[in-house]
Structure 1
Amino acid sequence: MPYAVPYMRFSFSRQGRGSSIERQEMMIGEWLGKHPEYTLYPKTYKDLGRSGFSGEHLKFGFGKMLKAIEDGLISSGDVILVEAFDRAGRLPPSDMFPILSGIVKAGVNIVTLDDGITYTLESVNNNHLFLLLAKIQQAHNYSSLLSDRIKKSYANRVDRAKAGEKVKVRTPIWLKDGELIEDLVPIIRQVFELWAEGVGAWSILKKIQDQHPALKKVNVSTISEWVRNKTAIGYWRDIPGVYPAVVDAELFYRANNRPVRSIPTRNPRKHFETGLIVCGVCGGNMVSKIDKLKSAKVVCGTRSRKGIDACSNSKNFPLDVFLYLITTTSTEAMQQALRRHQLSDSEKKAIVLRGKVDELGKQLSNLYKLAAINLTDELQQEIERKIFERDQAQVQIKALEVISSVNEDWGAAVEISDDMRIDEPERANALLRSVGYALKAFTNGTIEVPCKDINGIELNPCKYEGYSKRKDAYILSTGSGVLEILNFASKRHLATLEEY
């Protein structure tokens, strides 16, 4: 039984969010229903978001389909199903005709589903030849005309933007007709603040989604797109001042320079300890598990997922031990994290300048590529101007760093309560990870504690010695003596707690 081979393509990624792919799939399904003599080919060739005008699709889906024909995987008697002729490509006729001719010469027919025409070697050699040529020419001319219009429209928008006029383009959710939607502004600023602190996209989305009707259908990937979008500070492309800024430049660049390690892998709303306890052997995260006695244990996540060959750390620790240690030793790290986000004016200026240096570096990289092709006097002057701007910004950064180190004054110590850990566990977790706070657990029961406890006592070397049934307590030996962590889940201590 011959194969029917589907091929689908669209040029712009936004079409993937619309009906283009569904429409093509539906038409293929209808054709197969009317032609039961064909079997659906086990593979569908797709070029989603790839141009048929530039020939990009020849390197991917369409090109792979041509290779399958060449290798005989798609053979004589099979058919290729396309929605319309231009899906196969919009190349110039001199390039497109030989490709299609090669397909039908191999005995593989082409069916255009929009008009139901089947192109075979015989039909192309007869009455379909001129129709085929006309469709190729029409498809190419349409794309060529559209390309010219887009280029002219883009050039016009660039000129208007440089002149200080607003341009009509798709803008983020906080803009309407080029103006800020005021009730969304504080929410978007909250997104940037949380992202800068290291809170993950899922946690941010859950926090903001019920704050405004426009946010109900926001996708989690949109959060990171917002943070990277320079429209937030008024840019369109590389042109500043086109739109009103929803956040200041310091917050934008601070959010875009957050440490990669601060991105959580699990939701700290349920697991506050996520990322704060690491295996001292393999460096992976320790994870909590419930044992047969319904007691929470902490084990190496790498070993748990990949087996004993992945990590030799087989030690189980009670979760309560780590929660106690985090609660009593994280205050100093939390203060350090909060101070990092309470920046002096000089540090804020330095962050903006570093962002500018990065941008200039990217622009220079593009200019160098153009210069390698054709170095004109105008291009040379532009390169020299960008280099001068970058050097000036770097000099200013060094000066600001000196001022910051001399005048650093954080004022009174920041008071941290347990409220943040209870009410905002995602934020507390992200802040601690942003300064590298983590307890390290080793096979012999040793726990490396990164900070002194709340009373300034050094706990290292710290080792979990086991559980005392007589005292209903977890026993730790520390550099300052033996530490007993009461198990308040036990009947004895639970009764005491209730009386208290």
Structure 2
Amino acid sequence: MKDAFSYIRFSSPEQAKGDSFRRQSEKADAWAKANGYRIVKSWEDLGVSGYRGQNATKGDFGEFLRAAAAGELARDSVLLVENLDRVSRQAPRKALSRFLSLIDCGIGVVTLTDGALYTAESLDQDKSGMLLFGSLMVMIRANNESRVKGERVAAAWERKRLAARDKAHRLSDRIPGWLTPGRDEAGRRTCTENTKRAGIVRRIFEETVQGLGHRAIAKGLNRDGELSFLSQTAWQPSSVSKIIRSRAAMG
């Protein structure tokens, strides 16, 4: 049996709660079984953007590309992806270059949505050029979709920033756990300090300066009967770490 590699990517952490991972996994398994391949390794970039190429520079896909370029992967093996936009949503020139460089390493690319197999041989033998042209059109569409979405999100945040400046509206309903939301006499949103919780934040920073680790700080808070802000349960080292790293604590 020939080797296959599956690659699963989605952009936002929220998608992990949905059906994306299961759908992509099952499609890869089904194709491999039906075509005489075995999946020898799965690569995953969950919650990693393909628009700015982060999956290829910081994610698992970057490791896959380096292994392919180094000749560590068997030639004639294939990469299984749901669609080409899982590989990249960058500008079409960059996406096409990465796609072709992978194929030049002897790795085929299978798009599970339509069952298309892209290899050096299939592209070279396609006299009409439609196979390559079709892949380029997918890349153009994916990049345009991400660009438009980015522009809409940026415009929405700009409106929120203006509302925050002119009408004292909070940018988001999510505020630091040591603040209490409210409204003034004019009905505008306000935030006031929760004295008890702010004291806990100061304690966390003071104990950090003293050299205590996140685990030791969490144990001390739990020993004193303090509850974490969001879950109202015992403190975890990760919760302490988030407060230490949060820029919101700077005011």
Give 1:83 deviation, angstroms. Answer: 1.1
- Over 3 Å counting, the alpha-carbon distance change for 1:61 and 1:262 in structure 2 is closer
Aligned residue number for residue 78 of structure 1: 77
1:47 aligns with 2:50: no
Normalising by structure 1, what TM-score? 0.38
Trace 1:1-12 onto structure 2 (pairs within 5 A): 1-12=1-12
Quickly say closer, same or farther: Cα 1:73–1:243, change in 2 above 3 A.
Answer: farther
Contact 1:161 1:242 in 2 (8 A): no
1:138 corresponds to 2:175: no
Q: 1:133/1:359 Cα in 2 relative to 1: closer, same or farther (>3 Å)?
A: closer
1:13 counterpart residue number: 13
* DSSP-derived class of the 1:73 partner: coil
Tell me by how many angstroms 1:156 deviates. Answer: 0.8
Residue equivalent to 1:264: 219
Is the counterpart of residue 251 in structure 1 residue 196 in structure 2?
yes
1:97 corresponding residue in structure 2: 96
The amino acid across from 2:114 in the alignment is D
Secondary structure in 2 matching 1:162 = helix
Secondary structure at the aligned position of 1:44 is classed as: strand
> 1: distance between equivalents of 2:248 and 2:17?
34
Change (3 A) 1:242 1:139: farther
> Residue 359 and residue 148 in structure 1: after superposition, are their counterparts in 2 closer, same or farther (change >3 A)?
closer
Q: How does 1:223-262 map to 2 (within 5 A)?
A: 229-230=176-177, 232-234=179-181, 243=189, 245=191, 248-258=193-203, 259=207, 260=214, 261-262=216-217
Looking at structure 2, the residues matched to 102 and 75 of structure 1 have their Cα atoms a distance apart, in angstroms, of: 15
For the aligned residue pairs, the C-alpha RMSD in angstroms reads: 3.3
Show CA shifts across 1:127-175 (max 9, x none): 3111011111111111111111111111011112333365695x46xxx
Aligned partners of 2:80, 2:115: CA distance in 1, in Å?
10
SS of alignment partner, residue 163 of structure 1: helix
Partner of 1:154: 157
Change (3 A) 1:361 1:48: closer
- Is residue 27 of structure 1 aligned with residue 27 of structure 2? yes
CA pair 165-64 structure 1, distance change in 2 beyond 3 A: same
Q: Which amino acid aligns with 2:52?
A: S
Q: What is the identity, as a one-letter code, of the residue corresponding to 1:159? A: L
Whole-Å separation in 2 of the counterparts to 1:72 and 1:359: 43
Distance 1:162 1:111, change over 3 A: same
Q: Which has the higher contact order (CA 8 A, sep 6+)?
A: 2
SS at match of 2:45: strand
Q: 5 Å matches for 1:110-129?
A: 110-125=109-124, 126=126, 127-129=130-132
TM-superposed deviation, 1:360: 9.1
Relative distance call for 1:146 and 1:118 in structure 2 (3 A) is same
* 8 A contact 2:81–2:87 mirrored in 1: yes
Contact in 2 for aligned 1:11/1:50 (Cα 8 Å): yes
- Which letter does structure 2 place at the counterpart of 1:161? A
Which letter maps to 1:104? Answer: I
Q: CA deviation at 1:86?
A: 0.5
Question: Are the aligned partners of 2:161 and 2:171 in contact in 1 as well (CA < 8 Å)?
Answer: no
Which amino acid in 2 is paired with 1:253?
A: A
**Are the aligned partners of 1:8 and 1:24 in contact in 2 as well (CA < 8 Å)?**
yes
- Of all paired residues, the percent bearing the same amino acid is 26
Q: Deviations over 1:366-397 (max 9, x none)?
A: xxxxxxxxxxxxxxxxxxxxxxxxxxxxxxxx
- The structural deviation recorded for 1:23 is 1.6
The letter of the residue matching 1:46 is: E
Spell out, residue by residue over 1:309-360, the C-alpha distance to the aligned partner (whole angstroms, 9 max, x if none).
xxxxxxxxxxxxxxxxxxxxxxxxx9xx9xxxxxxxxxxxxxxxxxxxx979
2:115 & 2:26 partners in 1: Cα distance? 14
- In structure 2, what is the Cα distance between the partners aligned to 1:242 and 1:12? 32
Q: Tell me how far apart the structure 2 counterparts of residues 29 and 229 of structure 1 sit (CA, whole Å).
A: 43
- C-alpha deviation, 1:232, in angstroms: 3.8
State how far apart, in whole Å, the 2-side matches of 1:146 and 1:360 are.
27
1:145 maps to a residue whose letter is V
Residues 233 and 252, structure 1, Cα contact 8 Å, conserved in 2: no
Contact 1:124 1:132 in 2 (8 A): no
- In structure 2, runs of 5+ residues without a counterpart are 208-213, 226-245
How many angstroms does 1:249 deviate by?
Answer: 3.4
CA distance in 2, matches of 1:129, 1:56: 24
Distance 1:256 1:149 in 2: 35
Secondary structure of the corresponding residue to residue 155 of structure 2: helix
- Superposed CA deviations along residues 179-222 of structure 1, whole A, max 9, x for unmatched, are xxxxxxxxxxxxxxxxxxxxxxxxxxxxxxxxxxxxxxxxxxxx
In structure 2, what residue type is equivalent to 1:58? Answer: A
For 1:46, what is the secondary structure of its paired residue? strand
Mapped to 1, the partners of 2:154 and 2:95 lie a distance apart of 24
- 1:234–1:242: 8 Å Cα contact kept in structure 2? no
The normalised TM-score by structure 2 is 0.73
Letter in 2 for 1:234: P
Residue 52 (structure 1) shift? 0.6
